[in-house]
Amino acid sequence: MDGAVRALSSLEERTAVLIRLFVVCSVGLALVLGPELARGRGAVLGWLVLATLGYAVVLAVGEWRGRRLLPPWLSTSIDAVLALAACGLTGGAASIMVAILPLVVIAAAVRGGAVIGRLAALGVGAGFTAAAVLGSDAAVPPVERWLAGAWWTGYLVAAAVLVGVLLRMLESQLDAAAVSRAMALAEHEAFLEERDLRARLLAAQEARMDGVRVVLHEFRTPVASLTALTADLAADRLSGDARSTATRLLAEHAVHLRDMLDGLADVAVREGSPLGRVRERPVRLVELAEAVLDAAGVEPARRSARVTPRDTVVRCDPQRLRRVLTNLVENAARHSGDAVVELELWHADGRLVAEVRDRGPGLPPGQEGVVTAKGVALGDRRGTAGIGLWIVEALVAAMDGEVRLLPRDGGGLVAHLELPLPAT
């Protein structure tokens, strides 16, 4: 906006410079074509025209180079004095140079505003009245001289008033345009914000629906199997090994559903629901490690747990931390075959660090972020509907921590977890 105002001001000054040059040249041409206009003062008028031309050229060159040599009010005042001198030297009340005076008044009104324009009109009118009284031919009666001065003073004031009215109208239109533009911009911004909000809401709703579809898909298989098995058991159609196999399948499906419900509870906590939220409390890392390995179903022969220092007690949310570590250990056990699953915990510099190491197939390069996406499961067993590692990443983010999946030397995968701990 400031740049536009400066550009407009520069355009006004350049226009004034060009008009000044045009007026000076036209006066000089008039004196050449009509020497009688000089009233016998040709030499004086010649020097005046030359001096005015030099003054106009200097201002023009300075303005063209971006240097304003005189403030606008001073250059307008000099223009008025020179025009009044020309009027006085070329016949006073009968001088054709009086036509220059409205240009001076208009310039003053445009540059200084309505009030300055009217004051300038009164001043220039008084100056012309003096030029008419003192510079008119002897044959012009005094009454006509004073009448000419009053006549032109009135017209100059009228011109200044008219310019002031036009300026106010222009300013009003510019203000209205600025307000309209501001309102249009505000409405556009509101539209963009509303559109972005709608897009975010739709994306969030779509994400929730995707999660529901995944969970429903994973619930369908165990529920269908449970329905068939319980129907066979209730009808007593099974016996011997078949009955034992059905009982084992029922237990496995129950574990499957428990894992699903645990995962959904974690989702509720992640979404801000109070369901399943546990307050922070002191937790012994040794006990936590054993509970995690038990919950993950890792056989004692395949366990390797290490806590440094062994008697470390930290203050944390045990439910979230247990779910994170359990999911990581389950994933490691699932892909390690009969190899040992290592869980190591240590506390240093106000952070809890945990690593789960396995000897499974690892991950292809660039797949570390893919497997933590919702609905993506590793291997053939999909005990958590593909939301296990997604839940891990979501819960770790909720605890302001970081989890990384790294290749392990000699083959396998390392899940590296870091969590900030509150000051005790």
Question: What pLDDT, in 10s, does the model give residues 346-356?
Answer: 988 888 999 99
Reported as a single tens digit per residue, the pLDDT across 276-334 is: 455 678 889 998 888 888 878 888 889 999 998 888 888 888 877 888 898 899 888 88
| Mean pLDDT on 200-222 | 72
* In contact, 219 and 260? CB cutoff 8 Å: yes
| pLDDT at residue 306, as a whole number | 93
| pLDDT at residue 217, as a whole number | 61
For residue 139, pLDDT over 70 is answered with yes
Element (H, E) at 58: helix 42-64
φ/ψ of residue 205, rounded to 5: -65, -40
| pLDDT at residue 384, as a whole number | 39
Task: Please state whether 403 falls in left (phi above 0), alpha (psi between -120 and 50) or beta.
Answer: beta
Between residues 146 and 20, which one has the greater pLDDT? 146
Reported as a single tens digit per residue, the pLDDT across 64-121 is: 777 777 787 787 888 888 888 888 888 887 788 888 888 888 888 887 777 888 888 8
| pLDDT at residue 298, as a whole number | 86
Chain centre distance of CA 152: 58
| Mean pLDDT on 402-421 | 89
When pLDDT is cut at 50, 70 and 90, the band that residue 242 belongs to is: confident
When pLDDT is cut at 50, 70 and 90, the band that residue 375 belongs to is: very low
Reported as a single tens digit per residue, the pLDDT across 145-176 is: 899 888 888 888 888 888 888 888 888 888 88
Distance CA 101, CA 125 (A): 9
Report which residue type is found at 80: A
For residue 2, pLDDT over 60 is answered with no
For residue 344, pLDDT over 90 is answered with yes
The answer, yes or no, to whether the previous bond of 420 is cis (omega within 30 of 0) is no
> What DSSP assignment string belongs to 124-156?
HHHHHHHHHHHHS-TTS-HHHHHHHHHHHHHHH
Helix (H, G, I), strand (E, B) or coil at 207: helix
For residue 213, pLDDT over 90 is answered with no
When pLDDT is cut at 50, 70 and 90, the band that residue 9 belongs to is: low
Torsion on CA atoms 210, 213, 215, 216, rounded to nearest 10: 170
Q: Which of 5-14, 65-74, 397-406 has the lowest mean pLDDT?
A: 5-14
Between residues 323 and 274, which one has the greater pLDDT? 323
**pLDDT over 90, % of the chain:** 6
For residue 267, pLDDT over 70 is answered with no
| pLDDT at residue 140, as a whole number | 84
Q: Report strand pairing: 413-420 vs 351-358.
A: antiparallel
Distance CA 160, CA 68 (A): 25
Distance CA 231, CA 237 (A): 9
| pLDDT at residue 416, as a whole number | 92
| pLDDT at residue 221, as a whole number | 60
Q: Which residues contact 257 (CB under 8 A, 6 or more apart)?
A: 219, 222
| pLDDT at residue 268, as a whole number | 62
* In contact, 385 and 377? CB cutoff 8 Å: yes
Distance CA 44, CA 48 (A): 6
Between residues 86 and 229, which one has the greater pLDDT? 86
| Mean pLDDT on 413-424 | 84
Please tell me which of 9-18, 100-109, 261-270 the model is most confident about, judged by mean pLDDT: 100-109
φ/ψ of residue 284, rounded to 5: -80, 125
Distance CA 133, CA 138 (A): 10
